Structure formats: structure tokens, C-alpha cells
Amino acid sequence: MKAVIIGCGRVGSAVAKQLAGEGWDVTCVDEDENALARLGAWKGGFVVGHGMDKDILEEAGAAAAQAAVVATDGDNSNIVIGQILQRRYGIDCVVVRVLDPARAEFYAKLGLRTVCPTQTAISTLTEAVRACETGGIRQVTG
């Protein structure tokens, strides 16, 4: 199984290593050649370039991929690249990181599999505060 990872930052590189460890054939794309260092001893592919660039996506093997993760540092780039991977290369499993909850929800409705870490943080933090509050009230009343 082949996966392409667009954006090899902290998130992209960690996902890449995880998938490679599970037996996927992984190729990463990043504009910065130094991003390769994040992958450690890397046996997979690595292409330097922009994920909007057709030549770069083809070099990374997008046409043969079953899965793609898009996690560059720009929401709008991620959304556009995600749609290119879906529509031009017909990749069924395209997962796109979108930090803005509103855009993540909007594009999820349009059929893009968006993951919003901000929304996750909001939910987790709210839950954490609720948990403290419950404990506090118990202490006072108990």
C-alpha cells in the first residue's frame, strides 16, 4: 500500500514514520529539504517541492497511492492539495489537516476528510475544565 504525505513538519513526519512502521510504502513532500531530517533513518521516498505542483505530486507517486495525508502549515494550501489528490488522482483516502474549525466543517460537508486539531483542542480543554469544576464542587459540598 502506498501513501503520500504532503508537508513533512512535526505532524506529517510523525504520521509518515508511523505508517512506514506499519508496512506502508510512504513518500513525503516538503518545500524544505531539511525536513528530511525529521524522518530519522528514512527508507521511504522524499521529494522537495510544493504540493500544488503537478510534477512534484507525480514524482511522489500520487497516481499510485491509496492514501494521502495533507498537513502543510497552510489551511488553504491543504484544502486545495487535498482536492487535487482526490479529483485528479482519484485517491479515496485523503485526509487533510485544517486548523480553522469553520473551514474544516465547510469542506467536510463538501466531501473532504478534514481533521481539525483546533476543534480537538477546544473539546479536550473544555472537557478538562468541566472535570476540574465537578471535582471542585464536590470538594466544597462534600
Partner 1 sequence: MYIVIAGGGKVGSNIARTLIGMQHEVTLVEQRRDRFRQLEGEFGHSAMLGDATEIAVLERAGIARPPDLVLAVTGDDEDNLIISQIAKEGYNVPKAIARVNDPRNQETFDLLGITETVCATSGLLGLVEHEVPEHGLVRLLELRREGLEVVEVQVLADSPAAGKRVVGLSLPEGSRLVSVMRNGVAEIVEDETVIRPGDQVVAILKPGAEDKLRRALVG
Point out which residues bind partner 1 (CB under 8 A).
52-54, 74-77, 79-80, 83-84, 87-88, 100, 102-103, 106, 110
Which residue in this structure is represented by grid cell 475544565? Answer: 129
- Shortest reach from residue 133's CB to partner 1, in Å: 29
- Shortest reach from residue 109's CB to partner 1, in Å: 8
Rounded distance between C-alpha atoms, residue 32 and residue 34, angstroms:
5
Rounded distance between C-alpha atoms, residue 82 and residue 87, angstroms:
9
CA distances from 71 to 7, 16, 27, 81, 116 (A): 5, 11, 13, 10, 11
Q: In terms of CB distance, is 25 or 53 closer to partner 1?
A: 53
Nearest to 6 by CA among 22, 59, 37, 21: 59
Residue 90 in grid coordinates: 482519484
Q: In terms of CB distance, is 44 or 117 closer to partner 1?
A: 117
Q: In terms of CB distance, is 90 or 136 closer to partner 1?
A: 90
- Shortest reach from residue 71's CB to partner 1, in Å: 15
- Shortest reach from residue 84's CB to partner 1, in Å: 6
